[in-house]
Structure 1
Amino acid sequence: MGKATAIFGAGCFWGVEAFFERFEGITHTRVGYTGGHTAHPSYEQVKTGTTGHAEAIRIEYDPEVITYGGLVNIFFECHDPTSRNKQGIDVGHQYRSAIFYGTEGEKAIAEEKIQQWTNKGVFKRPIVTEVTEAGTFYEAEEYHQKYSQKNGSFACGIS
């Protein structure tokens, strides 16, 4: 079957990347920016909140080992999807909770998972995760890649 790709925004991408990398079937990750209106944004631009981008992670995975639905479940476990434009100490639209789907099938799975997580009653407030068609993903600067591995543990508001 080969490799597949998923893109999520769940707050600060450093901690999100470290969280996802712990799971079997994830073969490669890159952090970056997506969902905005500025071409080739830099971290300095994105952090101002004026580019429209979310800090995000692009995950390559083996769908024979982990499904897209499984990744969406991990996404809901790694951040607070009820917090609009805020994760931990990070505040702004660039830290929004978002699933960037590549196919209509992924969109349907994302929406189904939101309903499942809502029905579980795990969260005290409504899920505010955006489900948006994936656009261009711009890789973040190299010093952001594998940040936790390079610099020690950093949770970025992940509980």
Structure 2
Amino acid sequence: MMQFKPVLAAAALGLSACALPGAAHAEEVFDAPVAARRANESGLQTAIFAGGCFWGIEGIFSHTRGVTSAVAGYHGGSAGTATYSRVSSGTTNHAEAVRVTYDPSVIRYDQLLQILFSVGADPTLHNRQGPDRGPQYRAAIVPTTAHQRAVAQAYVAQMGRSGVWDRPMAVEVERYREFYEAEAYHQDFMQKNPGHRYIVRWDAPKVDALQAKFPQFYRARFRTG
């Protein structure tokens, strides 16, 4: 049976899906530390991000220009526990994550990070995002190259110094392990289930924010994994 995430009142968490703390200015802050590294990628690249429910993160990047694939999955644990029922227990070390394939000639890695933390995830929350709680919903950056690791570390440090957020950074730059694709019913979930109450309440507003804040990167047509 398909399992659905609980829908909790936003007031219970003090967080609105369409108004991340600090997000109103986050997109204006982050350029300098990564400026010297912008030209270090060529050809299609792979990035892995975790930011709460993978439905919304996949949906955001599926609407992002320069992204050729966005796949929901699990990262951080073992192959034997990479199933939704096991990951949902919060005991597997896995995070719900999204593997993004992108063209750096269209969108850079630092710009993907900019989008993630402006409209997708709050980097100050520990083991929770939106209505979801547990280590499987942690925010994490998983570099797949030395270049990405250098940019990610500089980016998190800059976010911490920016003064945009009232709380310290909780997002971690994690070591790459194996990425395991999630079950088929999780793939392109937003596109397939636009009326689902979780999508309507928590994830569709993030895509709206992508269009509003980053019109140069917004793509109306959903790019499936």
TM-score band w.r.t. shorter chain: over 0.9
Equivalent pair of 2:79/2:180 in contact (CA under 8 Å): no
Quote how far apart the aligned CAs of 1:123 are: 1.1
Tell me the C-alpha RMSD between the 2 structures. Answer: 1.7
Structure 1 residues 57-110: Cα deviation after superposition (integer angstroms, max 9, x where no partner): 000000111111111111211111100000111000000010011122211100
CA distance in 1, matches of 2:80, 2:105: 34
Structure 1 residues 3-47: Cα deviation after superposition (integer angstroms, max 9, x where no partner): 100000100000111112222101111000001135352100000
Aligned to 2:132: 90
Q: Which runs of 5+ in 2 are unaligned?
A: 1-41, 210-225
Equivalent pair of 1:38/1:51 in contact (CA under 8 Å): no
The 5-angstrom pairing of residues 73-88 of structure 1 reads 73-77=114-118, 78-88=120-130
1:70 partner amino acid: Q
Task: Give the one of 42, 46, 62 matched to 1:21.
Answer: 62
100-109 or 36-45, which deviates more: 36-45
- State how many pairs are aligned: 159
CA distance in 1, matches of 2:167, 2:173: 18
CA distance in 2, matches of 1:65, 1:49: 36
Instruction: Give the number of the structure whose residues are more often strand, by fraction.
Output: 1
Using structure 2 for the length normalisation, give the TM-score: 0.67
CA distance in 2, matches of 1:118, 1:84: 15
Instruction: Give the number of the structure whose residues are more often helix, by fraction.
Output: 2
CA distance in 2, matches of 1:4, 1:39: 27
Q: Which runs of 5+ in 1 are unaligned?
A: none
Quote how far apart the aligned CAs of 1:112 are: 0.8
Matched, 1:4 2:48: no
Task: Give the one of 110, 122, 145 matched to 2:152.
Answer: 110
1:88 partner amino acid: G
CA distance in 2, matches of 1:25, 1:38: 30
| Rg larger for | 2
The 5-angstrom pairing of residues 1-159 of structure 1 reads 1-39=42-80, 41-77=82-118, 78-152=120-194, 154=199, 155=202
- SS of the residue corresponding to residue 59 of structure 1 reads strand
Identity of aligned pairs, percent?
45
Q: Which has the higher contact order (CA 8 A, sep 6+)?
A: 1
Quote how far apart the aligned CAs of 1:118 are: 2.2
